[in-house]
Chains A and B, each alone.
Chain A
């Protein structure tokens, strides 16, 4: 296999992965939304739907939803513009999956004389590509709103497109701050640059060289703007139920509605990926650069195993407590299930610890270094992304919705000047550093 074929295969595989990852995150996100909202409001959340008694803590509810949405009648109202009406959901879904193509999932790995890249396309214009694709997402909403031939849809589409266009300005300007700091638009270079420690005026600070520490204001603006971009609470005026029924997707049913629904969630997943990559160091493990991890396989192994053990241990504890709560209610599988999962989690945690002990005492083969690093970095990125997914849920169930004038006021009169001020300050600081 020559290197060209290898690169081609690598790119193909990573493209498929980059399309599958958000689709895999979507059910988890929906589950997180339901359970998260429940737990914020002191409720239990969905836990009844089950297959053969296996309820997976409410995860099976997603399957029920899918079945329900696929079984529903696919209505196309009489007076819609048929072509654009059909195009809109597919457009929204497709565009929402695209930006992840330029996000690196782990550092490139030299393996058996070849370089394996964990990024579908290392575009020289990575950041601009993300910006342009996300601004294309608004077409899906405008098309849906206009082609539905319904005043509520039109108003919803109008609102959300106005909102997206307004907040894209501050989003772009926040990105420019990152661009100024890292002096590059290539995503892989930006992430690589975040592996160092922070230096300011010749002093090295005990902080990673992450966007959030270099550009805190820019991070805040980007975060708020991405909430607005994804039409998420507190910016979900497009579907203000009391005013607009459901906004741009009033007329959509069945599969087409589910496409909009999934597009919304995969948009948020992608936004979480982009925020994590630009501001939280992407796949970088804090205080440990890729080289450090590759040279110290013991360190990598202990970090990986301890992280897995910690996460699984906590999950096992929570599952055990849930099982104890429901012990007197059910019999059979329903009763055993939480304990089963709790046991599995504890087993995985113990296995991770055993693996750690084995690896530390017996030593590791040389080829493991790179692979372990990749695992650790992917885990690290996923945790950051999951945190931002949780933040989306957390904010939604905490804050009330803005009024339309407040929204526009905030976008144009507060965030835009702040973004410009941020650029000015950043420029001055960069000049004084030289």
Chain B
């Protein structure tokens, strides 16, 4: 059996006071720096300031549109089938376009059930549903307000989300003893 010796305290560490003073010095250096450089604190003042989310962020859902602003979705139910949380409710109807069989008359996503797994996006054969709106504060006062309907899901400009969708404020890690340029 191998006995592992604990390192224990050696030399001046045993007096303890020296180590306490070292620790106090470290925290004091932070205090002194922060007190006179409050602008360099890395805090993001959230609702007013927003951190730029990376372009591949899995955010809120949206339904993509065709050129005539009708939904790309053909109500094939693959997303609703793939959904492990069963939060997608689709009601299909006959499409007015003779080349297309069906379109979703209703397309509801229950955000209270959604687990943000992204399986619906993976399942869609037409790239009709995406989860790329960089919004992480999904909140509401009533349950009904958190069931997103087709109109709300299609309320966007149908463009690809580009990296500066949300104008970023660079987070300055130029602060304190571990600063990076």
Let me know if A36 is at the binding interface, CB within 8 A.
Answer: yes
Across the interface, which residues of B come within 8 angstroms of A329, CB to CB?
45, 48-49
Q: Is B28 an interface residue (CB 8 A)?
A: yes
- Per-residue CB proximity of B39-70 to A under 8 Å, as 1/0? 10111010011000000000000000000000
Q: Does A318 contact B (CB under 8 A)?
A: yes
Identify which of A44, A394, A398 contacts B41 (C-beta below 8 A): A44
Does B37 belong to the interface (CB within 8 Å)?
Answer: yes
Residues of A within 8 A of B1 (CB): none
Asked if A326 contacts B30 (CB within 8 A), the reply is no
What are the residues of chain A within 8 A of B27 when measuring CB–CB? 40, 394, 397-398
A44–B34 alpha-carbon span in the complex (Å): 9
Q: Is B8 an interface residue (CB 8 A)?
A: no
Q: Which residues of A lie under 8 Å from residue B49 when comparing CB positions?
A: 329
> Which among A324, A325, A329 has the greatest number of chain B C-beta atoms within 10 A?
A325
B38 on interface, CB distance cutoff 8 Å: yes
| B23 A321 Cβ-Cβ under 8 A | no
Nearest Cβ in chain A — how far from B168, in angstroms?
A: 15
B36 is an interface residue with CB less than 8 A from chain A:
yes
Interface residues of B in 1-23 (CB under 8 A from A): 17, 20, 23
Interface flag for A355 (CB, 8 Å): no
- A190 CB to closest chain B CB (Å) equals 26
Min CB–CB distance B143 → chain A (angstroms): 27
Residues of chain B with a CB closer than 8 A to A42's CB? 30, 34, 41-42, 175-176
Query: Cβ of B31 < 8 Å from any Cβ of A?
Result: yes
- B127 → A minimal CB distance (Å): 38
**Contact between A36 and B45, CB atoms less than 8 A apart:** no
Q: How many A residues, CB 8 Å from partner?
A: 22
Measured in the bound complex, the distance between the Cα atoms of B37 and A317 in whole Å is 11
Assess whether B36 is in contact with A321, with CB atoms less than 8 Å apart.
yes
Beyond A39-B30, A42-B42, A321-B38, is A399–B48 a contact (Cβ under 8 Å)?
Answer: no
Interface check A429, CB cutoff 8 A: no
Given the complex, which residues of A lie within 8 Å of B138, measured CB to CB? Answer: none
When each residue 150-180 of chain B gets 1 if its CB lies under 8 Å from chain A and 0 otherwise, what string results? 0000000000000000000000000110000
* Contacts A326-B45, A394-B24, A398-B23 given; does A40 touch B31 at CB 8 Å: yes
- In the assembled complex, B35 has its CB within 8 A of some CB on chain A: yes
Residue on A nearest B31 in the bound complex, by CB:
A39
Tell me the minimal C-beta distance from A400 to chain B in angstroms: 9
Residue count of chain B within 8 Å CB distance of chain A: 23
Distance in angstroms between the alpha carbons of A110 and B120 in the assembled complex: 85
Give the distance to chain B from A106, nearest Cβ to Cβ, in Å.
Answer: 30
Q: Please determine whether B48 and A395 come into contact, CB atoms closer than 8 angstroms.
A: no
User: Do A324 and B17 touch across chains, with their CB atoms under 8 A apart?
Assistant: no
In the complex formed, the residue of B with least CB distance to A390 is B31
Chain B residue contacts of A324, Cβ below 8 A: 39
Which of B30, B36, B38, B45 makes the CB contact (< 8 A) with A40? B30
Nearest A residue (CB) for B39: A325
Known: A324-B39, A325-B39. A39 touches B23 (CB 8 A): no
Q: In the complex the two chains form, what is the Cα distance from A325 to B49 in whole Å?
A: 12
> 1/0 per residue A390-434: CB within 8 Å of B?
000011011100000000000000000000000000000000000
For residue A317, which residues in chain B have a CB less than 8 angstroms away from its CB? Answer: 36
* Least CB distance, B18 to chain A, in whole angstroms: 13
Which chain B residues border A322 with CB–CB below 8 Å?
38
Asked if residues B31 and A399 are in contact (CB atoms below 8 Å), the reply is: no
In the assembled complex, the Cα of A42 lies from the Cα of B171 at a distance in Å of 14
Interface string of A305-332 (1 = CB under 8 A from B): 0000000000001100110111001100
CA distance A190 to B39 in the complex (A): 46
- Whether A133 sits at the interface, judged by CB under 8 Å, is no
Q: Is A43 an interface position by the 8 A CB rule?
A: yes
* Interface status of A64 (Cβ within 8 A of chain B): no
> Of A36, A43, A330, which one neighbours B48 at CB under 8 angstroms?
A330
A220 proximal to B (CB < 8 A): yes
Note all chain B residues with C-beta closer than 8 A to A36. Answer: 31
From known contacts A39-B31, A330-B48, infer whether A318 and B38 are also in contact, taking CB-CB under 8 Å.
Answer: yes
- Select from chain A the residue with minimum beta-carbon distance to B30: A40
Q: Give the distance to chain B from A221, nearest Cβ to Cβ, in Å.
A: 11
User: In the complex, what residues of A have CB within 8 A of residue B26's CB?
Assistant: 398
| Smallest CB gap from A234: residue in B | B20
Please, which residues of chain A bring their CB within 8 A of the CB of B17? Answer: 220
Closest to A322 in B: B38
How far is it, in angstroms, between the C-alpha of A395 and the C-alpha of B38 when the chains are bound? 22
| Residues of chain A with a CB closer than 8 A to B45's CB | 44, 326, 329
A392 to B157, CA, bound (A): 56
**B36 & A318 in contact (Cβ 8 Å cutoff):** yes
Distance in angstroms between the alpha carbons of A326 and B175 in the assembled complex:
18
Q: Report the minimum CB–CB distance from B177 to chain A (whole Å).
A: 10
Give the distance in Å from the alpha carbon of A278 to the alpha carbon of B18 in the complex: 24
Instruction: Give 9 CB contacts A-B under 8 Å.
Output: A39-B34, A42-B30, A43-B43, A44-B38, A44-B43, A220-B17, A321-B36, A321-B38, A399-B20
Interface, chain A (partner B; CB < 8 A)? 36, 39-44, 220, 317-318, 321-322, 324-326, 329-330, 394-395, 397-399
Given contacts A36-B31, A325-B38, A325-B41, 20 further A-B contacts (CB under 8 A): A39-B30, A39-B31, A40-B27, A40-B31, A41-B30, A42-B30, A42-B41, A42-B42, A44-B43, A220-B17, A317-B36, A318-B35, A318-B36, A321-B38, A324-B39, A326-B45, A329-B45, A395-B24, A398-B20, A399-B23
The 6 nearest A-B residue pairs measured at CB:
A329-B48, A325-B39, A398-B27, A44-B43, A398-B23, A40-B27
